[in-house]
């Protein structure tokens, strides 16, 4: 997947039947909404439907969060850690 260098793509990798996935989804959606920056894009990925991409990222379990096509959080982070990771990538873009 090609990523615009001026954007930060936040991807939440989930699976059906995953009990913790809704919490990770909400965490990512809330963090993106609070940052309110047009350069941040949000995408949910069902690992079953996009297994090749999940394997490419190195996802071993769900939920997981990738930023700009890189698996940054193999397990849900705190909101503060996710926010910081997004902001660091915005500044570096």
Cβ pair 46, 53 in contact under 8 A = no
In this predicted structure, the answer to whether residue 78 has a pLDDT above a threshold of 70 is yes
pTM, 2 dp = 0.91
- Express each pLDDT in 31-50 by its tens digit: 999 999 999 999 999 999 99
Instruction: List the one residue out of 40, 37, 42, 38 whose CA is nearest residue 14.
Output: 42
Judged by DSSP in three states, 55 sits in helix
In this predicted structure, the answer to whether residue 2 has a pLDDT above a threshold of 60 is no
CA 7 to CA 3: how far, in whole Å?
7
**What's residue 92's pLDDT?**
81
Cβ pair 61, 70 in contact under 8 A = no
- Express each pLDDT in 50-64 by its tens digit: 999 999 999 999 999
């Amino acid at each position: 997947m090609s990523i615009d260098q001026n954007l930060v793509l936040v991807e939440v990798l989930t699976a059906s039947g995953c009990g913790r996935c809704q919490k990770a989804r909400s965490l990512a959606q809330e963090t993106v909404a609070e940052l309110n920056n047009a350069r941040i894009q949000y995408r949910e990925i069902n690992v079953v439907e996009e297994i090749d991409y999940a394997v490419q990222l190195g996802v071993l379990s769900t939920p997981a969060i990738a930023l700009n096509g890189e698996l940054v959080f193999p397990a849900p982070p705190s909101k503060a850690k996710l926010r910081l990771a997004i902001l660091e990538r915005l500044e570096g873009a």
